[in-house]
Amino acid sequence: MPELPEVETIRRQLDPELEGLVVEELEILDPKWAQSARPSALADAVSGRVIEALDRRGKYLLLRLAGDGTLVMHLRMTGNLLLAGEKDGRPGSRQPGDARLYRPADEERHLRARLRLSDGRELWFTDPRRFGRGFLADPEELDAYFAARLGVEPLSEDFTPDLLAAVSEGRLAPLKSFLLDQSRLAGVGNIYADEALFRAGLHPLSPAGSMRPEHHVALRDAVVAALQAGLDNGGASIDDYRDSRGEKGSMQDEFLVHRREGLPCPSCGEEINRIVVSGRSTYFCPRCQVKLRRRPRRPRR
């Protein structure tokens, strides 16, 4: 479910709400949620600490705690992070179980971890498929963890055409697989990979290393534009995704090609095709998205 725009939407909503509050208690209802040898030790280590900020790296949410610790959370496929309850006991905010919230019974049924906050509210980590995880890391551990897994942030100034050229050089994997590889580019998932390749006019099966300089520019711009569209629409709610208030995003109504098999291409009217690339459904326009030839090797003298 959640890719960079969905995770960032949650972060932007929650960061100003959480700053300065104390996590009075972390309750882990599903021991599998804790990516830690002893879930009770994780709960104890987080309980009682002051929240400094909520940051994001790739699709990870980073709850910064006073004293150099970070509660790292990943929503994986179906996780949600909901802010529930009444601030300082005053009415107006939503309660867990509020009928206006998304399927309240299911939220409670799928509750995996709960942070009780010092203003009376609660942060709920819900997750039907139980892939989501949370763990505590100190700064050195966190650096090592991300260095091994995550590449450049696509919305940072470091994401340039030259960077894209460097990380794709010599790669034979299809562009679709390349965009899903978090160690090259962090935050793009199945939805925004399809949307970006359509915007760039590139075929999902073209080898990543076949791009020429104009393609590096086009794909960089397309990734940024696709992610920005997601942010502008509050994320995509195909099925489970909700923001921190339990509201749906609207990006699913703005998809250009993703999940639009058989529908007309917004640019040329040709029918959108669906193929499977490294196990993931992939949607593209066979007319607008050209397949690049493998780049010839530099001749040797």
Partner DNA sequence: CGCGCAACCTGTCTGC
Partner DNA sequence: TGCAGACAGGTTGCGC
* Interacting residue ranges for DNA, rule: CB under 7 A: 1-3, 32, 58-59, 74, 76-78, 106, 109-110, 128-131, 149, 171-174, 177-178, 180, 182, 189-191, 208-209, 236-241, 252, 278-281
Active-site pick, 12, 171, 245, 280:
280
Spatial distance between the Cα atoms of 168 and 177, rounded to a whole number of angstroms = 11
Active site includes 184?
no
- Nearer to DNA among residue 231 and residue 238 (C-beta): 238
Q: Smallest distance from the beta carbon of 218 to DNA, in angstroms? A: 20
Starting at the edge strand found earlier in the chain, the sheet holding 49-57 runs 80-84, 122-126, 111-117, 22-28, 49-57, 60-65, 69-74, 133-137
- Nearer to DNA among residue 122 and residue 127 (C-beta): 127
Q: Smallest distance from the beta carbon of 161 to DNA, in angstroms? A: 19
Q: Smallest distance from the beta carbon of 95 to DNA, in angstroms? A: 22
Q: Smallest distance from the beta carbon of 9 to DNA, in angstroms? A: 12
Sequential DSSP letters for 66-125: TTTEEEEEE-TTT-EEEEES-GGG-BTBPPTT-TTSS-HHHHHHTEEEEEEETTS-EEEE
Token duo for residue 91: 């009415």
Active site includes 59?
yes
- Nearer to DNA among residue 117 and residue 277 (C-beta): 277
Q: Check: CB of residue 156 under 8 Å from CB of residue 256.
A: no
DSSP state at residue 31: G
Active-site pick, 2, 5, 154, 174:
2
Which residues participate in catalysis according to the annotation? Answer: 2-3, 59, 280
